[in-house]
């Protein structure tokens, strides 16, 4: 029988920043169905599975990470919370890689052709997880309850899974999961302001002010040939900025870098997504503390480039900024977007540019990759048609902007229709504007809750605890453990009653 003591509700906070978990005890391949929604095609592919079983005891739960857009090892190495929770609940740790990422390539080297990308959908990924869970007793040789974990897109998948397959899991921890940021909700300005807020609070008010001014100046300079020359020089773009679409691409590149650096403003040095120093926002603001709203245009552009480079080029790995890869294309020009098949080298998540932008083009139009493939930014309403034009040229797909909301519901609807989900968001994360309502516990059956972590960054609660963590992160991790153990206690009671 699964047993544990409620006296173990505390978390042992690791004193090692960036602690790396032990290596998997098993690396397996699960035979996965290629197309779950056709009945005249039995094609399969191999899906990577990472397992760590040293904490597992009979009848313990399966702590299952829903892989997102990248190599599964990167999420394994950056999700220490599962290794903190598992010994307290006798859990088996399992990570399932997302189709089309890492080494889980259904068509091998040909996986990213337009013809083969058609099987890369959220619905197929959710069905992958459903099939995997239904084979737990034969593939994993265990039959305990499943608790899903996921951060960012992985957290979105964990939540959406409970909308579609609520009978297969006991609960989910969906960290930094923006399940409610859809076209027509007009959250673009709120997202931008949430990112700038981080520079004002965790950098300095002056830093936020001059960055806002500098971003506006980029548009102004882009209106003239001389101004475009300044932008080309100060931002060291790989090709000269020649027209309006180039200016749009530069702005998307810059905004993606700024918002994503705010998102991952961890209090310790980290290389998740891209190498950065501890407290990168404060670092960048201190580096440019000589600037103000009244600084000359060329100095503002130089400063903005310096701030951006803390995120995209901290280790000087880039010789220039390749803005041509931004998923934007003129709606009237015949000029074609350079092929996204060009790989971004050196990324911890692997080359995710083409598969992720295909997903953005088909189902997540407000979430294209930016900033050399490292960043994300919610584009303004006027940019969306240009993204759609690029999608048509690059992938020959037409976006269905309302499909995801119609299929899964908005934040309130998800809360009302699900059970046992912890949604967590960090104060520093601009994507929190797409989270579920703060009063979620009062909206549904009381089992779906939202935790806003003051001073927390993007799914910081999923990482190993660190001495640099603010107390709010430590408290959130403890609260999450408490809730999960409550789910398991209820499961044990129900199991005994139903025997």
**Main-chain dihedrals φ then ψ at residue 205, nearest 5 degrees:** -55, -40
User: By three-state DSSP, how is residue 43 classified?
Assistant: coil
User: By three-state DSSP, how is residue 422 classified?
Assistant: strand
Distance between CA atoms of residues 361 and 240, nearest Å: 27
Q: 381: closest CA among 187, 251, 214? A: 187
Per the document, the length of the chain is 499
Q: Where are the beta strands (DSSP E) in 394-461?
A: 421-426, 448-453
Catalytic residue among 74, 246, 429, 469: 429
Distance between CA atoms of residues 499 and 481, nearest Å: 27
Residue 301: in which H helix or E strand, if any? helix 297-312
Catalytic residue among 180, 458, 459, 469: 458
Catalytic residue among 53, 98, 111, 152: 152
**Main-chain dihedrals φ then ψ at residue 153, nearest 5 degrees:** -60, -35
Q: Is 429 a catalytic residue?
A: yes
Is the alpha carbon torsion for 320, 321, 325, 330 positive or negative?
Answer: negative
Distance between CA atoms of residues 138 and 388, nearest Å: 44
- Listed as own residue / partner, the contacts of 332-341 with beta carbons closer than 8 Å and 24 or more positions apart are 333/245, 335/245, 336/393, 337/390, 337/393, 337/394, 339/394, 340/394, 341/112
Is the alpha carbon torsion for 199, 201, 202, 206 positive or negative?
Answer: positive
Distance between CA atoms of residues 423 and 479, nearest Å: 12
β pairing state of 62-66 and 146-151: parallel
Q: How far, in Å, are 123, 160, 161, 212, 388 from residue 407 at the CA level? A: 10, 10, 12, 36, 21
Is the alpha carbon torsion for 371, 375, 380, 381 positive or negative?
Answer: positive
Active site residues: 152, 429, 458
């Amino acid at each position: 029988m699964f047993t544990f003591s409620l006296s173990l509700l505390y978390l042992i906070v690791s004193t090692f920043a960036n602690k790396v978990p032990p290596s998997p005890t098993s690396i397996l391949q699960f035979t996965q169905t290629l197309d779950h929604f056709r009945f005249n095609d039995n094609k399969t592919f191999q899906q990577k599975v990472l397992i760590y079983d040293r904490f597992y005891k009979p009848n313990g739960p399966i702590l299952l990470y829903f892989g997102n857009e990248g190599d599964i090892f990167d999420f394994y190495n950056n999700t220490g919370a599962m290794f903190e929770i598992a010994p307290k609940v006798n859990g088996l740790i399992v990570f399932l890689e997302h189709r089309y990422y890492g080494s889980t390539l259904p068509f091998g080297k040909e996986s990213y052709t337009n013809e083969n990308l058609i099987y890369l959908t959220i619905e197929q990924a959710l069905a992958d997880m459903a099939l995997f869970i239904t084979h737990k007793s034969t593939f994993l040789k265990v039959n305990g309850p499943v608790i899903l974990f996921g951060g960012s897109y992985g957290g979105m998948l964990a939540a959406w899974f409970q909308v579609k397959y609520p009978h297969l899991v006991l609960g989910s921890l969906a960290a930094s999961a923006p399940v409610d940021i859809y076209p027509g909700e007009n959250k673009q300005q709120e997202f931008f302001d949430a990112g700038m807020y981080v520079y004002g609070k965790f950098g300095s008010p002056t830093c936020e002010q001059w960055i806002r001014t500098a971003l506006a100046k980029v548009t102004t300079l882009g209106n003239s040939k001389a101004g475009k020359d300044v932008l080309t020089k100060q931002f060291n773009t790989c090709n000269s900025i020649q027209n309006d679409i180039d200016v749009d691409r530069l702005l998307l590149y810059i905004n993606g870098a700024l918002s994503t650096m705010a998102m991952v403003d961890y209090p310790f040095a980290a290389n998740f997504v891209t190498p950065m120093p501890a407290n990168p926002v404060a670092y960048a603001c201190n580096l440019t503390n000589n600037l103000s709203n009244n600084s000359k245009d060329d100095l503002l552009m130089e400063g903005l480039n310096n701030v951006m480079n803390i995120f995209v080029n901290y280790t000087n790995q880039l010789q220039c900024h390749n803005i041509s890869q931004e998923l934007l294309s003129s709606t009237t020009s015949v000029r074609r977007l350079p092929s996204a098949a060009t790989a971004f080298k050196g990324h911890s998540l692997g080359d995710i540019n083409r598969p992720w932008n295909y997903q953005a083009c088909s189902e997540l139009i407000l979430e294209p990759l930016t900033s050399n493939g490292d960043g994300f930014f919610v584009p303004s309403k006027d940019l969306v048609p240009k993204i759609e034009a690029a999608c048509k040229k690059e992938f020959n797909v037409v976006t269905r902007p309302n499909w995801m909301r119609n299929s899964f519901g908005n934040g309130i609807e998800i809360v009302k229709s699900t059970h046992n989900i912890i949604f967590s968001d960090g104060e520093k994360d601009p994507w929190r504007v797409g989270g579920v309502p703060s009063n979620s516990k009062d909206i549904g059956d009381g089992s779906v809750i939202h935790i806003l972590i003051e001073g927390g960054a993007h799914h910081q609660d999923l990482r190993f605890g660190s001495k640099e963590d603010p107390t709010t992160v430590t408290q959130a991790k403890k609260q999450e453990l408490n809730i999960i153990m409550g789910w398991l206690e209820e499961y044990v009671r129900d199991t005994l009653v139903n025997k």
